[in-house]
Structures are given as structure tokens and as C-alpha cells.
């Protein structure tokens, strides 16, 4: 049975309201993405300088430093940091990260303690049967460094005292504004690849390189976790921006389609009324 104009107008009103919400969320996600990318760019510059310094120190001291973060130990229990989102409405963003973490844990074949970041990710992780031992709130752009310090402290305890000699992280690596990929990387122990040879006379260390490296390694880990949080936040904003853009475009198409149906229904009603008038006029003429 064809829908009446009232039903079609009611549907169009509902879709229009939804379109206003998705459009607003699209604008908010775009603004948050720009802000996060600006913080990420600043953090990347600091990270590059810090990483180069640590690598030069590691090359200089060789195997003299026996820091726990650099020790390779037999792995019988795995730690997994899963960085996801606090909310949904971002497509398959959260589900893809949890799936990547589950696949990595299954491939390792070891019992795992899972540390979560994000409320929505927690729901999905528990449904996937992951052993969640700690959960942190979702990434807040303005509080990302404070969150990184808290998370790093927990990872330190898990690594040194919690019986997890290896800790990985599952997150969405930001590639571009329209692309990100769920990946799993190793966080601890630290892997410092060698850098190109540098003349020793170019560097003057104070204090000694051994002590300086020991002092910088905790900051190195905190900075890396901070970058991971910003990368994940940028990926989440990008995913939500794309999802809300698609939803807004679909709402526009549906509004256009409903408008055509309303116009068609109005034309049919007008035609029906004209036919009734003509039929009535013919009936009166026949009586006369």
C-alpha cells in the first residue's frame, strides 16, 4: 500500500534530524583530527631527536648497560596493550583493533594479560574472550601525556614484577586522513637498531653515556607510548570522520528520495481530487 504524504513527511523529518546530528559529528571529528595531528607533529619531532640520541648512546656504550628494558628473557606470559576508542560510531575501527590483538595472542600461543585503553574497546575485548586485567579511559587529546605516564607506569610494573617479559601493543596506525591500519608492535623489551657511524669527537656527553642512557630509557618508553596514543586518537577521529561523512551523504540521498516520493504522492492526490471533481460534474450534467 502506498504511503501517505503524512507518513513520508514524518520519515523525512526523522532523516533530517539524523542528518543534522551526523553533520555536526562530522565537523567535530574534523576539528579534533586537525588538533590531534598538530600535537602528533610536535611529538614526532621530539621523538625523532630523542630516538637518535638514545641510539647514539646505545652505540657508544655497547653492552655495558644492563637496563631491564633492554634485556631479552624467556617469554612464558605475554602482555598486550590494546589502544582503542571510548565510543563507537566509527565504523569497524574498534573491532579491527581487537581482532588484531586476538590474532596476535593466538599466534603467540601464550597466556596473555590485556591492558585496555577505551571503553568501547573493553566491551569488544571481553566478548572476544581476552583476559582483561586493567582498563584505562579513552585517549583525551589534552590529557594524552598524563595518560601516557599512567599507562607506562602500569606497563613497567607488568614487565618487571608482573611476570610478562614481553609486552606488545595493538593499535590503529595513522596513515592519512582517509586511511589507517590495525597493527601489533613490540613495546618491551626495547629494540634499538644501530644508526650510522658518527665521529665520536662530535658529541660531548654529560653525565657519562652509561648513566645518561639509563636516565633516558624510561623517558624513551613514555614518549613512545605517548606517540602511540596520539596515533590511535588520530586514527579514531579519521575513522569517525569517514563514518559520519558516509552517514551524512546517505541521509542526503534519502532526503532527496523522500522528497521525490512526497511530490509524487502530492501529484497523485491532486490528480485524484481532479478526477473526483470531473466525475461529480459529469454526474450532475447527466442528471440535468
Q: Encode pLDDT of 2-21 as tens digits.
A: 667 788 888 889 989 999 99
Angle between helices 144-160 and 209-287 (to 10 degrees): 120
CA–CA gap between residue 184 and residue 158 (Å, rounded): 18
pLDDT at 121: 84
Contact 52, 192 (CB under 8 A): no
- The CA distance from 137 to 204, in Å, is 42
User: How many distinct helices (H) and strands (E) make up the chain?
Assistant: 5, 5
What does R_g of the chain's alpha carbons equal in angstroms?
29
* Ranges in the chain, pLDDT < 70: 1-3, 62-65, 162, 193-202, 273, 275-288
- Residue 220: how many CA atoms within 13 Å on its side-chain side? 25
pLDDT of residue 62: 67
**DSSP codes, 37-66:** HHHHHHHHHHHHHHHHHHHHHHHHHTT---
Compute the C-alpha angle 226/227/230, nearest 5°.
90
pLDDT tens digits for range 236-245: 999 999 999 9
CB 101 within 8 A of CB 133: no
Distance of alpha carbon 140 from the chain centroid: 12
Topology (CATH level 3) of domain 25-193+202-243: Pyruvate Kinase; Chain: A, domain 1 (3.40.1380)
Q: Which own/partner pairs from 257-260 qualify as long-range (CB within 8 Å, at least 24 positions apart)?
A: 258/8, 258/11, 258/12, 258/15, 259/12
| Predicted local distance difference test score (pLDDT) of residue 282 | 66
Other CB atoms within a 10 A radius of the CB of residue 234 amount to: 26
CB atoms closer than 10 angstroms to residue 151: 22
Which residues, 6 or more positions from 253, have their beta carbon under 8 angstroms from its beta carbon? none
Name the pTM for this structure: 0.84
Distance CA 133, CA 150 (A): 15
To 10 degrees, what angle do helices 93-108 and 209-287 make?
130
At 1 the pLDDT is: 43
Amino acid at each position: 500500500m502506498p504511503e501517505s504524504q503524512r507518513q513520508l513527511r514524518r520519515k523525512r523529518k526523522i532523516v533530517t534530524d539524523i542528518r543534522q546530528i551526523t553533520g555536526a559529528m562530522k565537523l567535530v571529528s574534523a576539528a579534533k583530527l586537525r588538533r590531534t595531528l598538530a600535537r602528533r607533529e610536535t611529538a614526532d619531532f621530539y621523538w625523532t631527536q630523542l630516538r637518535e640520541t638514545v641510539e647514539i648512546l646505545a652505540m657508544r656504550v655497547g653492552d655495558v648497560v644492563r637496563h631491564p628494558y633492554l634485556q631479552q628473557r624467556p617469554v612464558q606470559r605475554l602482555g598486550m596493550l590494546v589502544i582503542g576508542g571510548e565510543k563507537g560510531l566509527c565504523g569497524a575501527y574498534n573491532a579491527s583493533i581487537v581482532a588484531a590483538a586476538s590474532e596476535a595472542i593466538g599466534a603467540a600461543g601464550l597466556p596473555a594479560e590485556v591492558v585496555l585503553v577505551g571503553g568501547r574497546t573493553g566491551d569488544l575485548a571481553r566478548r572476544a574472550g581476552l583476559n582483561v586485567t586493567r582498563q584505562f579511559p579513552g585517549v583525551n587529546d589534552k590529557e594524552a601525556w598524563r595518560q601516557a605516564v599512567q599507562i607506562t607506569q602500569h606497563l613497567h610494573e607488568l614487565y618487571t614484577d608482573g611476570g610478562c617479559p614481553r609486552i606488545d601493543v595493538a593499535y590503529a596506525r595513522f596513515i592519512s586522513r582517509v586511511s589507517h591500519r590495525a597493527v601489533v608492535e613490540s613495546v618491551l623489551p626495547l629494540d634499538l637498531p644501530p644508526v650510522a657511524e658518527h665521529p665520536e669527537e662530535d658529541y660531548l656527553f654529560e653525565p657519562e653515556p652509561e648513566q645518561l642512557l639509563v636516565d633516558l630509557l624510561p623517558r624513551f618508553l613514555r614518549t613512545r607510548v605517548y606517540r602511540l596514543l596520539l596515533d590511535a586518537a588520530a586514527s579514531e577521529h579519521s575513522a569517525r570522520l569517514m563514518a559520519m561523512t558516509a552517514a551524512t551523504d546517505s541521509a542526503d540521498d534519502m532526503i532527496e528520495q523522500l522528497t521525490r516520493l512526497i511530490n509524487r504522492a502530492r501529484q497523485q492526490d491532486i490528480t485524484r481530487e481532479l478526477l473526483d471533481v470531473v466525475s461529480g460534474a459529469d454526474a450532475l450534467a447527466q442528471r440535468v
